[in-house]
């Protein structure tokens, strides 16, 4: 994917960089996982970095997609990647500010693990510099130098107890080298890459656990790959990674040990990483806790102090009301409770560092037998997530503007722990992401069928006829048929003035969308919902499904139920609470 050399950094460069970085981390993922010994030897640093960049790449692609002309109509999307209203907006290309903000936001909400969280802060730090002048179409070498410096400083500040010999050291070295480079963006990027590569080679001499394992820092190795992609973006030439040291002696096999290093001293725990598995208590906390948090800065300052007292490897990144919190603790519940006190935590992920359900004894649980079949579904709100879970599905929560990456879907397929999996994306925009996840899961020996559900109400219909005792193909056909026989609609509020299939809408207008197209525009939510429902039922139907969002007017469900009961004979109505799902109302007609 050779690029045309350019002397400046613009929105297209952001897009290209994210794509090349994702490719580079994809190639290096297994190698980086294999050398992951600090702060926990859990063999997932490469995977975490890949998923973090994948989320950033997806967000940037969504911004560009918002400016593409499709069949003569320009479709507009929010910077976060959320479809704002299914309508159109003026064409053109995204600004540098739009692109870098999307990159930073995508990385923030998709950050995984210690290194992924730090990488998200590095990208956010760069974005803050690039977006400072919102009108600028591009930046030059000086701007890139400032961005790299601010990124390294911001990442170091986000870590409660910085340790040398880690990705922080590599980032600082890259910024130092860039500061001394005069010239265009390509020159600055190459200097940063060379500085990072030299710093990476020195990491075993700075951190004892790396030297004993005979490896360089895994997070730093990932950052070098990301900077190599930046060089290729700006020069058109692939940086030579062959000279990057990665294993000096012993090759650490991913997942082969659980040795730990104290985050404040850099000294290894009680057992060397080459000695084999270590019970969690031998060197540190047993759990990794990660969550997104909506909170103000003052509350986050208090949260940092509390979490720092609970555990180690504390990294809190973000700002402007949205944060990504990462910490290693023994009391995972206390870490989550601290987040609840600070604000609104969600997308909570808790990972045990021990094998099976090892806690403090080191005893292993026998491997759990795989189920024959499972359903994995993407759902837009907590209420629907609960409904799907009660029906036996493994869920992936997709909040407005935060579409899950393929890696999250693959993880959910693995979590379902079944030989056969039916995947319900429940969103037309997730079709390609779900297909990529299904393909990856198949390479791991899991039989996956992707049903192209375009709405959560179609997923409900499919789940209702799911019968695990049937043959797999028969079950998939029945679920696909039920989903396809369900027409879907949504009622939401327009975020900006836009062209739509039903005319021009203004910000704040209520829109009724049927099968993804704007069908009616108005000001009253209940009236719009009734119009949409009538249009859908004019073609017939047996069951109406209503999913209410948190901001839907309270009487709307009763009104629509009464409308169906009085005007449409033999049509039943089911009402569910979807929670914070983006749309005010989802409607399904079977």
Q: Which of 448, 469, 485 is the endpoint of a domain? A: 485
Dist. CA 322–CA 108, nearest whole Å:
9
pLDDT attached to residue 332: 83
**CA–CA distance, 106 with 457 (Å, rounded to integer):** 27
Q: Which residues, in sequence order, are CB contacts of 580 under 8 Å at separation 6+? A: 381, 382, 399, 400, 549, 550
Same domain, 113 and 202: yes
Ranking 1-15, 125-139, 178-192, 283-297 by mean pLDDT, the lowest is 1-15
How do residues 349-389 score in pLDDT, each as one tens digit? 777 765 333 233 334 444 567 889 999 999 987 788 888 98
Say if residue 533's pLDDT is above 50: yes
Over range 136-158, report the average pLDDT: 89
Quick check: is 513 in a domain?
yes
Alpha carbon 526 to chain centroid distance? 34
Q: Is 361 within a domain?
A: no
Tell me if 40 sits within 8 A of 252, measured CB to CB.
Answer: no
List CB contacts of 120: < 8 A, sequence separation 6 or more.
Answer: 52, 56, 104, 107, 108, 110, 111, 317, 318, 324
From CA 387, how far away is CA 4, in angstroms rounded?
A: 50
Residue 38: pLDDT band with limits 50, 70, 90: confident
Q: What is the pLDDT of residue 368?
A: 60
Any idea what the CATH number is for the domain that residue 225 is in? 1.25.40.340
- Asked, for residue 271, whether it belongs to a domain, the answer is no
The verdict on 29 and 160 lying in the same domain is yes
State whether 493 and 479 are in the same domain.
no
Backbone angles phi, psi at 500, to 5 degrees: -135, 175
Residue 127 tokens, joined: 């974005």
pLDDT at res. 241: 59
Q: What CA–CA distance (Å, rounded) separates 588 from 590? A: 7
| 414 pLDDT more than 60 | yes
Whether residue 455 is contained in a domain is answered as yes
Residues 6+ apart with CB under 8 A from 256: 41, 43, 276, 277
Place of tokens 């005069």: 182
pLDDT in tens, 388-412: 988 889 998 887 667 787 878 888 8
Q: How confident is the model at residue 167, as a pLDDT?
A: 93
State the pTM of this model.
Answer: 0.62
Looking up residue 319, the CATH number of its domain turns out to be 3.30.70
At 398 the pLDDT is 82
CA angle, 450 then 452 then 456, to 5°: 110
543-549 vs 572-579, strand pairing mode: parallel
Count of other CB atoms within 10 angstroms of residue 175 = 24
The per-residue pLDDT for 77 is 37
3-class DSSP assignment, residue 63: helix
Tell which of 210, 235, 260 closes a domain. 235
Task: Please state whether beta strands 418-424 and 447-450 pair in parallel, antiparallel, or not at all (unpaired).
Answer: parallel
Dihedral pair phi/psi, residue 358, rounded to 5°: -60, 135
pLDDT recorded at residue 177: 94
pLDDT surpasses 70 at 32? yes
Q: Which of 12-21, 59-68, 195-204, 267-276 has the lowest mean pLDDT?
A: 267-276
Considering its fold, how many domains does the chain have in total? 4
Residues 313 and 346 grouped into a single domain: yes
Q: Kindly state whether residue 505 falls inside one of the protein's structural domains.
A: yes
441 and 560 within one domain:
no
Both 549 and 561 in one domain: the answer is yes
Contacts 24+ apart (CB under 8 A), 89-93: 89/496, 89/497, 89/498, 89/499, 91/67, 92/67, 93/11, 93/12, 93/64, 93/67
Q: How far apart are CA 204 and CA 216, in angstroms?
A: 6
Bigger pLDDT: 77 vs 590: 590
Percentage of the chain lying above the pLDDT 90 cut: 44
Whether 173 and 211 map to the same domain: the answer is yes
The CA distance from 400 to 427, in Å, is: 12
- Residue 360 falls inside a structural domain: no
Q: What does the alpha-carbon distance between residue 527 and residue 549 come to, in Å, rounded to a whole number?
A: 17
385 with 496, same domain: the answer is no
Is residue 257 in a domain? no
Shared domain for 175 and 31, answered yes or no, is yes
- Which helix (H) or strand (E) segment is 27 a member of? helix 11-34
- Greater model confidence, 382 or 275: 382
DSSP single-letter state for residue 212? H
The terminus-to-terminus CA distance of the chain in angstroms comes to 46
Average pLDDT of 311-322? 89
Beta bridge partners of 579: 549
Q: Domain of 448? A: 375-485
Q: Is 427 inside a domain boundary?
A: yes
Does 539 lie in the same domain as 473?
no
pLDDT bracket for residue 286 (50, 70, 90): confident
Candidates 533, 545, 547, 556; CA nearest to 582 is: 547
Considering the domain architecture, whether residues 415 and 341 belong to the same structural domain is answered as: no
Specify the length of the chain in residues: 590
pLDDT at 281 over 80: no
Mean pLDDT of the chain, nearest integer: 81
Same domain, 99 and 220: yes
């Amino acid at each position: 994917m050779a690029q045309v050399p350019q002397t400046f950094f613009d929105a297209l460069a952001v897009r290209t960089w994210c794509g090349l970085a994702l490719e580079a981390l994809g190639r290096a993922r297994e190698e980086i996982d294999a050398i992951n010994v600090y702060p926990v030897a859990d063999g997932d640093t490469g995977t975490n970095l890949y998923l973090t960049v994948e989320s950033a790449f997806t967000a940037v692609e969504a911004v560009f997609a918002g400016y593409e002309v499709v069949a003569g109509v320009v479709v507009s999307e929010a910077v976060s990647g959320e479809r704002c209203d299914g309508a159109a907006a003026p064409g053109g290309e995204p600004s540098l500010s739009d692109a870098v903000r999307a990159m930073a936001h995508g990385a923030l909400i998709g950050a995984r693990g210690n290194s992924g969280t730090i990488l998200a802060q590095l990208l956010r730090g760069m974005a803050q510099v690039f977006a400072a002048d919102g009108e600028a179409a591009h930046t030059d070498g000086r701007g890139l130098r400032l961005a790299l410096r601010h990124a390294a400083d911001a990442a170091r500040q986000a870590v409660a107890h910085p340790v040398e010999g880690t990705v922080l050291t590599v980032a600082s070295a890259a910024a130092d080298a860039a500061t001394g480079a005069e010239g265009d963006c390509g020159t600055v990027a190459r200097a940063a890459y060379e500085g990072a590569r030299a710093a990476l080679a020195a990491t075993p001499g700075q951190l004892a656990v790396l030297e004993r394992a005979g490896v360089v820092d895994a997070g730093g190795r990932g950052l070098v790959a990301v900077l190599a992609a930046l060089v290729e973006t700006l020069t058109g030439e692939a940086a030579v990674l062959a000279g990057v040291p990665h294993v000096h002696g012993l090759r650490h096999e991913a997942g082969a040990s659980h040795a730990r290093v104290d985050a404040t001293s850099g000294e290894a725990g009680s057992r060397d990483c080459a000695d084999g598995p270590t019970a969690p208590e031998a060197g540190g906390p047993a759990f990794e806790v990660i969550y997104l948090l909506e909170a103000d800065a003052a509350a986050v300052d208090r949260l940092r102090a509390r979490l720092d007292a609970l555990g180690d490897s504390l990294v809190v990144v973000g700002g402007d009301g949205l944060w990504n919190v990462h910490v290693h603790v023994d009391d995972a519940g206390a870490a989550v409770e601290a987040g609840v006190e600070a604000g609104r935590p969600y997308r909570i992920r808790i990972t045990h560092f021990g094998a099976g359900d090892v806690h403090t004894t080191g005893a292993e649980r026998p491997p759990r037998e795989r189920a024959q079949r499972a359903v994995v579904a993407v759902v837009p709100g907590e209420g629907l997530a609960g409904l799907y879970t009660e029906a036996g599905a493994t869920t992936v929560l997709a909040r407005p503007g935060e579409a899950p990456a393929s890696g999250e879907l693959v993880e959910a397929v693995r979590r379902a722990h079944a030989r056969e999996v039916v995947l319900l994306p429940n969103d037309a925009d997730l079709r390609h992401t779900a297909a990529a996840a299904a393909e990856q899961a198949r390479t791991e020996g899991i039989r996956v069928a992707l049903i192209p559900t375009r709405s959560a109400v179609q997923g409900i219909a499919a789940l209702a006829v799911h019968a695990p005792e049937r043959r797999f193909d028969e079950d998939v056909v029945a679920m696909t048929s039920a989903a396809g026989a369900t027409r879907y609609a949504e009622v939401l509020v327009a975020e900006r003035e836009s062209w739509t299939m039903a005319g021009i809408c203004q910000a704040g207008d209520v829109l009724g969308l049927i099968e993804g197209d704007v069908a009616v525009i108005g000001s009253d939510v209940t009236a719009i919902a009734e119009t949409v429902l009538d249009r859908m039922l004019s073609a017939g139907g047996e069951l109406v499904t209503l999913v209410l969002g948190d901001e839907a007017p309270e009487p709307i469900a009763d009104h629509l139920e009464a409308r169906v009961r009085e005007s449409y004979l033999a049509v039943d109505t089911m009402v569910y609470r979807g929670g914070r799902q983006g749309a005010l109302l989802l409607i399904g007609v079977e």
